[in-house]
Structure 1
Amino acid sequence: MRLHFVRWRFLWYALSLAVILPGLVSLATRGLHLGIDFTGGNLLEVEFHQPVELATVRQVVNTFGLPDAMIQKSGTSVFLIRTRPLEEKQSQELVKDLEQKVGALTLLRSDKVGPVIGKELTRKAFFASLITLVILLAYLALRFDFTQGVAAILGLVHDVLVVLGIFSLLQLEVDSSFVAAVLTTLGYSLHDTVIVFDRIRENIKIRRLSEPLGDVINLSIWQTLTRSVNTVMTVLFVLLALYFLGGATLKTFVLALIIGVVSGAYSSICDASPLWYDLKHWREKRRAGAAKAGRA
């Protein structure tokens, strides 16, 4: 016998809240561990006198106590090292450590730099995201139904809170790549949700006179479930390979994507459509109540 997703909707809501609420508490009390892109720091550019591997430089920088440093390689021997704010003495010690453990080098640049993503850019990005959500709501309302648009937006908010909450709980570093991962998650989740909603719309036209709405929604979820599971598993195989084999610089970005993709698949199947069911019934009850009051 098939699981009825709509009848079990309160279990799905409870599971979502069980993940989101601890994350919200952590966000309120500890916040996010902002990386160099948000906080600024020091920028060192060094050129070794012989070819050097990136892993060798990263190992020395990590040993120095800067595991969150961003290191970029240019050519065979030039490295750009971006670290948290350092005192002049610490910066000199890092250069000396690199010279002793890696090889002779020339210091090309040593500067203090501001954040790549400052407060002004963060504020503008936040407002741009709000405007995007409003536009998405309008589009979904025109294509489907206003309550379906609201349910889809709530699903997106769910996914963002899950990713932010887990990163706050684990105090994982947040940088510009994390922002890109969150935006990618939103696109994936919305696409998955729209496919389910599209099938619901088609089935309502065919079965609305013969079956309850909850059964039609459940049928639509099951009809798209194989596609949703296959898609998320295909994406996860690639992401897991990148996480374990792609190197340290990709881990934060890929982990955010893994969390986001799993959350997006869950919300599109278990949350968005059941939420639309509840919102639709709540709206119909309000209309019926208003009509009854008008007749009275």
Structure 2
Amino acid sequence: MIKRRKIFYAFSTILIVASIISLAIFRLPLGIDFKGGSIMELTFESDEGGRIPSGDEIRAVLSGFSNGTVTVQSSGENSFILRFDEITEETHIAMLERLEGLEGASAREERFDSIGPTIGAETTRKSLQAMGLVIVMVAGYVAWAFRRVKYPLSSTRWGVVVLVALFHDVLITAGAFSIFAHFVSAEVGVPFIAAMLTILGYSVTDTIVVFDRIRENLLRFGSKISFGELAEKSVRETIVRSLNVSLTTIFVLVSILFLGGATLRDFMLVLIIGIAVGTYSSIALASPMLVSWANRKS
């Protein structure tokens, strides 16, 4: 791993550049949690001899009630989640009456929420602050946890490496999701932020396991072997554990992705991408960066 670190650096650089390009072209489509709007969840029951309307039919019926685009997402056999611009209560009632008047099926509203643009902007600001605070606090914790390590790098630099790895994980995950969202009409909501925060915690835990083994081997071998060899040894000793834990988690998430319904789809997908990228960075990026920094210092 350590000897091939330049290959991993190049691979990560390609992924980062691709993610930046993807975010610039497709952008992250903000849901109503961030830009404001309304969300309605409906369940249809077909009348005798009737049928459940399709998403396109529902969209066509409601297109005249909203100034923007009406997004219709299936959340089950007879259920749909509708997203559109913020509407008044009068428009909300008119929508329900129109849907209940569809021939062949009756509609039942399960949920309705409306969020103004001001609240959406505040949610965006607080979400970004939360992610930034978590990244900084995690890097600070790593620097504190490894404060007794003086050779070959100070603990502060261990924290900086974690900071870079976390930024790498967040950026690539966001870029991959922007591509997915562009083709399947997914949106970024509060679950996306929750998934990102989960990824940060998962990634740093995996990285600390490797770093802790490096610290143990430093105490055991000291300067008897080079830091590069010591880091390689530490990665090899922990790689099976990291892969087993990550693959087990991903298998569970994939099962939920396919069996948990549309409402969990985006959340599960972000977690799968993020955990895969986080596992890669903890094994092939974080420790090699320590070695490169130590070699430059020497």
With structure 2 as the length reference, what TM-score do the two structures score?
Answer: 0.77
Deviations 1:143-195 (A, max 9, x none): 22111111111111111001111122332421211111111100000000000
Deviations 1:78-108 (A, max 9, x none): x995521278889846753454256345779
Pick the aligned partner of 1:42 from 38, 43, 52: 38
Amino acid at match of 2:276: V
* Structure 1 position 29, deviation (Å): 3.7
Runs of 4 or more off by more than 6 Å in structure 1? Answer: 45-48, 86-91, 106-111
Task: Verify the 8 A CA contact 2:71 2:83 in the aligned structure 1.
Answer: no
- The equivalent of 1:84 in structure 2 is 84
Pick the aligned partner of 2:189 from 175, 185, 189: 175
Task: Verify the 8 A CA contact 2:74 2:262 in the aligned structure 1.
Answer: no
Counterpart CA distance in 2 for 1:274 and 1:45 is 48
1:190 maps to 2:184: no
**What does residue range 5-84 of structure 1 map to in structure 2 within 5 Å?**
5-44=1-40, 60-61=54-55, 63-65=57-59, 66-69=70-73, 82-84=82-84
Pick the aligned partner of 1:118 from 120, 132, 135: 120
Q: How many pairs does the alignment contain?
A: 270
Amino acid at match of 2:192: F
Task: Verify the 8 A CA contact 1:147 1:280 in the aligned structure 2.
Answer: no
Task: Verify the 8 A CA contact 1:185 1:260 in the aligned structure 2.
Answer: yes
Distance 1:25 1:224, change over 3 A: same
* Structure 1 position 132, deviation (Å): 3.0
Counterpart CA distance in 2 for 1:108 and 1:216 is 58
Amino acid at match of 1:132: V
1:158 maps to 2:168: yes
Any stretches of 5+ residues in structure 1 without a counterpart? 286-296
Task: Verify the 8 A CA contact 2:55 2:72 in the aligned structure 1.
Answer: no
Counterpart CA distance in 2 for 1:109 and 1:234 is 35
Task: Verify the 8 A CA contact 1:178 1:253 in the aligned structure 2.
Answer: yes
Distance 1:44 1:147, change over 3 A: closer
Task: Verify the 8 A CA contact 1:47 1:107 in the aligned structure 2.
Answer: yes
With structure 1 as the length reference, what TM-score do the two structures score?
Answer: 0.78
1:235 maps to 2:242: no
Any stretches of 5+ residues in structure 2 without a counterpart? 60-69, 147-154
Counterpart CA distance in 2 for 1:6 and 1:109 is 53
Distance 1:95 1:196, change over 3 A: farther
Q: RMSD between aligned alpha carbons?
A: 3.4
* Structure 1 position 119, deviation (Å): 1.7
**What does residue range 96-107 of structure 1 map to in structure 2 within 5 Å?**
96-97=98-99, 99-100=101-102, 103-104=105-106
Amino acid at match of 1:130: G
